[in-house]
Structure 1
Amino acid sequence: MANIFADIPADLTQEVLQDIVVSDQVKIERIISKGHVSPAKGWYDCPQPEWVIVLQGQGTLLFEDGREVVLKVGDYINIPAHMRHKVSQTDREGITIWLAIYY
Structure 2
Amino acid sequence: MSKTGNVFANLPVIGCADEDIAALLDVPGLRVERIVSTGQASPPGFWYDQPRAEWVLLLSGAARLRFDGEDKARALRPGDYVFIPARRRHRVDWTSPDAPTVWLALHFDGGRESNCD
Which structure has the bigger radius of gyration?
Answer: 2
Per-residue deviation, residues 50-69 of structure 1 (Å, max 9, x unmatched): 00000000111111102421
Q: Note if contact 2:35-2:105 (Cα within 8 Å) is conserved in structure 1.
A: yes
RMSD: 1.2
Structure 1 residue aligned with 2:114? none
Select 1:8's aligned residue among 3, 11, 17: 11
Identity percentage of aligned residues: 37
CA positional deviation for 1:96: 0.2
- For structure 2, the residue ranges without an aligned partner over 5 or more in a row are 109-117
Select 2:98's aligned residue among 83, 93, 96: 93
Structure 2 residue aligned with 1:83? 88
Which one has a larger percent strand, Structure 1 or Structure 2?
Answer: 1
- The alignment status of 1:31 with 2:28, answered yes or no, reads no
Give aligned pairs, total.
103
Q: 82-91 or 33-42, which moves further after superposition? A: 33-42
Structure 1 residue aligned with 2:112? none
SS at match of 1:36: coil
| Aligned-partner Cα distance in 1 for 2:47–2:60 | 24
| Aligned-partner Cα distance in 2 for 1:57–1:79 | 20
Q: Note if contact 2:12-2:36 (Cα within 8 Å) is conserved in structure 1.
A: no
- The alignment status of 1:46 with 2:37, answered yes or no, reads no
Structure 2 residue aligned with 1:59? 63
TM-score (norm 2): 0.83
